[in-house]
Chains A and B, each alone.
Chain A
Amino acid sequence: MASSIMKQGRLTPWLYLLPALVIMFIFIVYPTFNTIYLSFLDKTSTQPASVNCVEGQPCWGIFENYHYALTNPEMVTALRNNARWLLLMVPGTVLCGLFFAVLADRVRYESLAKSIIFMPMAISFIGAGIIWRFVYYIETGSGEQIGLLNAILVALGRQPVAFLSNPAINNYALMLVGVWLWAGFCMTILSAAIKGLPSEVLEAARVDGASEWQLFFQIMLPMIMPTIAVVTTTMVINVLKIFDIVFVMTGGNFGTEVIANRMFTLIVTDTGRSMAIAVVLILLTVPIMIFNVYRFRKQEEMA
């Protein structure tokens, strides 16, 4: 990046930076360290966390809140669910986005089609939660099914299904909402990458008689791999922090608990544990953070 070309006082840059740096320090840096500190204290932040230890049960001393965050059954469910979300929703959104980006590239109404897939990004997660609560709604009384999916099931002669409270399927029902929400995001970024491919290369391959499948797997895919990596890491972070969808649709009940919702549930009643969960959450994002800084440094070197 270009360096200064104007005369400047030694303090001038800091005058421009100061407001931003001060605000970021107060709102991001300081609270992060404070949260780590609070995670070693009890529920009212007055005594060390070791007071939570129960006689006769394993005690992690000052790390007792982390004992809870990593071994409590509720938390084990949450961690397992977040892992499921990662394994299913991240590939789900990326593949969905890629599939649509590649297809839409070939038709004239591309921008309209892309707007439709992208639209859920404009509305709140809470709103999306309401939309899908209605799709999944089950009428347990004698009335007609007014939720779309159960109405279809009944029309096909099946029994209605409690999509959100049946532990066998509710997590997948929630993930589907996540895919619906985020596929447009992946599609937009991947679509831009596909548009940025040099057309000569694609033309040359077509002239050489490559089939569309070969073109996609052997030329396009390797060339947009870096973008796929970026999209995937972003989605990993989004999924780790998933909260609103679960909060509004099931409140974390019926075995759908996730890390961020557990943290929010305990925020007032047991600050120490809640903060330990937050720290676990940030530790999970650290690898991505390092990856991003590394990618940024590499970009800078190339520039």
Chain B
Amino acid sequence: MKPLTGLNRFFRNLPTHLAIVTMCVLWIIPTLGLFITSLRPREAVRTSGWWTVFRPQVQVGETEYRTYCASCHGVDGDAIAAADLSDPAVVSAYPRSNRLLTMLRRDLESGPHLVDPPLPAEPNAALEVLSPIVTYLQTLSGINPEAERFTLRNYADALVGYKGSQDYLTDCEQGVVSTLAKFDCDASDLLKPEGMGRAFVNTLIMAIPSTILPIVFAALAAYAFAWMDFKGRQWIFALLVGLQIVPLQMTLVPIARLYVQIGLAGTFLGIWLFHTGFGLPYAIYLMRNFIGGLPREIFESAYLDGANHWTAFCKLVLPLTLPAIASLGIFQFLWVWNDFLVAKVFLSTHPVLTVQVTNLIDPRGANWHILTGAAFLSFIIPMIVFFAFQRYFVRGLLAGSVKG
């Protein structure tokens, strides 16, 4: 083969590569924007777009300092040992710009201070220049902590559901009690009813049984459909295929009323049962195809060894169908975790992540820093599950590809 074949093929395929990469970039940018925003300080989120984090960052006052002072004091402020601007003791003598102004107007070694270029003569204009310089000096000397580029404070706010005018951690440090009436500034805040922490726990409690129950019942029923004889087998199964696409909107009100009557309204048991009911048709369909595909011989030899249906089910079917159970489990788990409508109707007293996120939406768009953090908190588990078990998820999708 010629050595250039590989390169040649690459260039011939260039349009393909370009199209794929463009689409991938377009697909990932919205999520990336949300993620980056969730890590930015709230003031930065409010005043600039998330893409500005890729630009080199300029400290407040750095430009002014470089214009007026850096020629003598140096870029780090410590070029003149006698007037080291990175020394906190020197800088703290000028906490405000008018104090600095008086100092700068005084002559220095019988010549004027600040010659190249001179400060504006008009006092207000001079103060406007000096104010950012003071801030920058404080940054240089370490009095004023450097403005962080990234922070986890939004996540703290989202976890406890804090909507103050400063962030939760700062308010706790400063003991601002008025806005903290509902909060204790300790670990118990993580379970406050308006926070994502509590919603996370609620979602876990809701999702795990809602995943296991339908699989257990579906495995039993699927075994009967696949390996047992009974009247109406085909007919019932065809009905089941139809049931898969009944919109769940059809059942909300009757079930909600039933729950009120029997005391299941707003309980976890109620939502477990509802998700089980709606997960079953698809689960049975998928499991039956898989169990029915197991080789007939293994059942025959099990029967010759004296096994009955129950032992065959427990000892043969369950272990052999683990891949199908994994596919189904992941599918159902993601479905239940991401559901909004059912949780909103049946579990409004214990908000889950999706419901809690919608509670945090501010129609004026003033709290993107919390909302982006909260949304990302709700993605963590499904993302982990998805990337860890993508193979099983895809298999579950391919096996059925119809889901109500």
Q: Give residues in A with beta carbon < 8 Å to B.
A: 1-6, 8, 10, 12-14, 16-17, 19-21, 23-24, 26-32, 34-35, 38, 100, 103-104, 106-107, 113, 115-127, 130-135, 137, 139, 143-148, 151, 180, 185, 188-189, 192, 230-231, 233-234, 237, 240-241, 243-244, 247-248, 260, 263-264, 267, 271, 274-275, 278-279, 281-282, 285, 288-290, 292-293, 296-297, 300
Contacts and interface: CB of A to CB of B under 8 A. Distances in A.
Given A20-B221, A120-B27, A244-B340, 16 more contacts: A5-B300, A6-B303, A17-B236, A19-B217, A23-B280, A24-B243, A31-B253, A123-B382, A130-B361, A144-B47, A192-B398, A267-B252, A275-B253, A278-B249, A278-B250, A293-B241
26 contacts: A4-B228, A8-B229, A8-B309, A14-B224, A20-B284, A21-B221, A29-B243, A35-B251, A104-B20, A115-B390, A120-B27, A123-B338, A126-B340, A127-B375, A127-B379, A130-B34, A135-B33, A144-B47, A146-B45, A234-B401, A243-B249, A247-B340, A267-B252, A285-B245, A292-B241, A292-B244
Contacts of B27: 116-117, 119-120, 180
Given A13-B230, A28-B278, A244-B341, A145 B386 contact: no
Contacts, number: 289
B378 A124 contact: yes
Interface in B199-244: 217-218, 220-221, 223-230, 234, 236, 238, 240-244
B297 to A, nearest CB: 10
B324 interface: no
Contacts of A145: 49
B183 interface: no
Given A1-B292, A20-B221, A180-B27, A151 B49 contact: yes
Interface residue SS majority, chain B:
helix
Contacts of A139: 365
Given A151-B49, A278-B249, A35 B223 contact: no
B246 interface: yes
Contacts of B337: 124
B254 A2 contact: no
Q: Size range of the interface on B?
A: 35 or more
Given A6-B309, A23-B277, A14 B397 contact: no
B381 to A, nearest CB: 10
B20 A107 contact: yes
Contact of B247 (A147, A282, A297): A282
A126 B255 CA distance: 24
B276 interface: yes
B37 to A, nearest CB: 7
Nearest to B313: A16
Contacts of A148: 29-30, 33, 49-51
Given A20-B221, A124-B340, A119 B245 contact: no
B98 to A, nearest CB: 29
A131 B375 contact: yes
